[in-house]
Structures are given as C-alpha cells and as structure tokens.
Amino acid sequence: MAAPHDHFIKLLLLGDSGVGKTSLLLRLSDKPFNASFMTTIGIDFSVKTIELDGERVKLQIWDTAGQERFRTITRGYYKAAKGILLVYDITSESSFNHIRDWIRDMEEKHPPTVNVKKILVGNKGDMGESQRAVSKSRGQALADEYWIKFFETSARTKMNVEEVFFALARVIRPELNVQQCLPLEFNRLAAQRSSCCR
C-alpha cells in the first residue's frame, strides 16, 4: 500500500494576536472566513496534505497564540519546525514592528544548527489604502533584510493564502530530499565496508 504522503513538514505561524494567523489557517483548509474570530489560547494545529510538483507533502501547521503570556508555550514548539510564517497585520504598525522581536526570540530559542526557513506575511491585504499602516515596500524591505520571501495575503478573500504555504513548502522540500538520502548513502557505505573486510 502506497504511503499517504512523500514528505512531512512541520510549520509554525508566529505573530502578534489579532493579525489573522488562525484565519489564514482556516482558509487554507477551505473553511469560510469569519470576522468574529476567537483568540487562540496557547496553541492549536491543523494538517493539510498538498500536491507539490508531483509529490504529496503533509503539512502540520501549528497556530501559536500571539499574547505575551503564552510566549513560553509557543517557544516549546520551535523545535523540529522546518518553516515559519511570520505574520503581521498591514493595518497595524505595532504588529509589523514586533516581527523583529519574533525573529530574535525564535533565533534565541531555536537550535542554531537548524536552518529553519521563514516567510514574511503581511495579512489583511484586502483593506483599503486609507486603512493601511504598513506599505508593501516596507514589508518587502524587511523581508530583503532577512533574505526571505514576502507575500501580502488576505484571509477574507483568500488572496495568496495557498500560495504562501506552497512557497514555504517548496523552499523546504529540497532539504528533505537530502536528509532522506543521507541514511541511504550511509547504509550503502556501511555495506561496502562490511563486504570488503570479511
């Protein structure tokens, strides 16, 4: 029987409370947008299997609480994460400014040997220019500073919701192929050594 997926990737959604992390996750699962969301308490997760360049990739996506009082719980989920979506609200200057804090906190708590991939996400891109507090160029400039990709999304209209998750999975997948090949190569070399030393 064929495996249900070719790859497994753990992702985290990080960002201040109210930026729309939960809404993005719900829209990825094809659930309707609900403007009266409930704040995430602690942490929640969802699973989504996607088709990526002919392979089935199972995404386990952890939706973290943005409030400071839950930060200790959130930090416990940095481990084993392959990718992180750093989400801010384009109508909230403070949520944008706090992205640096989220990156700093993640880098302090995440094992330094792990090269976790990141994408910057400016959510609520459907809002009018009069409500916008953070220009697209500022979002792009911050992403460029950290050498990461940048998307503006809208959970309300589903703009770029699937695209941002696909983009992050596509950046991570080549490393998964390398990691899967290493044990096979090790076993091959071990077999060669065993046969030549008999």
What pLDDT, on the 0 to 100 scale, is given for residue 188?
52
Q: Is residue 1 part of a domain?
A: no
Q: Is residue 78 part of a domain?
A: yes
Q: Is residue 117 part of a domain?
A: yes
Please give the structure tokens belonging to residue 55: 């392979």
Task: Write 180-186 long-range contacts (CB < 8 A, 24+).
Answer: none
Q: Is residue 168 part of a domain?
A: yes
Q: Is residue 66 part of a domain?
A: yes
| Through-space distance between the first and last CA atoms of the chain, rounded to whole angstroms | 37
Q: Is residue 178 part of a domain?
A: yes
pTM flag (> 0.85): no
Q: How many domains does the chain have?
A: 1
Closest-CA residue to 102 (of 59, 73, 71):
71
What pLDDT, on the 0 to 100 scale, is given for residue 133?
97
What pLDDT, on the 0 to 100 scale, is given for residue 186?
43
Helix or strand run (H / E) with residue 104: helix 99-109
Cα–Cα distance measured from residue 23 to residue 75, given in angstroms and rounded to the nearest whole number: 21
Q: Is residue 2 part of a domain?
A: no
Q: 107 lies in which domain range?
A: 7-196
**In CATH, what number is assigned to the domain containing residue 101?**
3.40.50.300
What pLDDT, on the 0 to 100 scale, is given for residue 174?
80
Give the CB-side neighbour count of residue 85, counting CA atoms within 13 A: 34
Query: What are the 10-residue block averages of pLDDT along the chain, 198 residues in total?
Result: 72 90 86 57 71 87 64 62 94 96 81 76 94 97 96 94 94 70 46 49
Q: Is residue 63 part of a domain?
A: yes
Closest-CA residue to 5 (of 173, 187, 181):
173
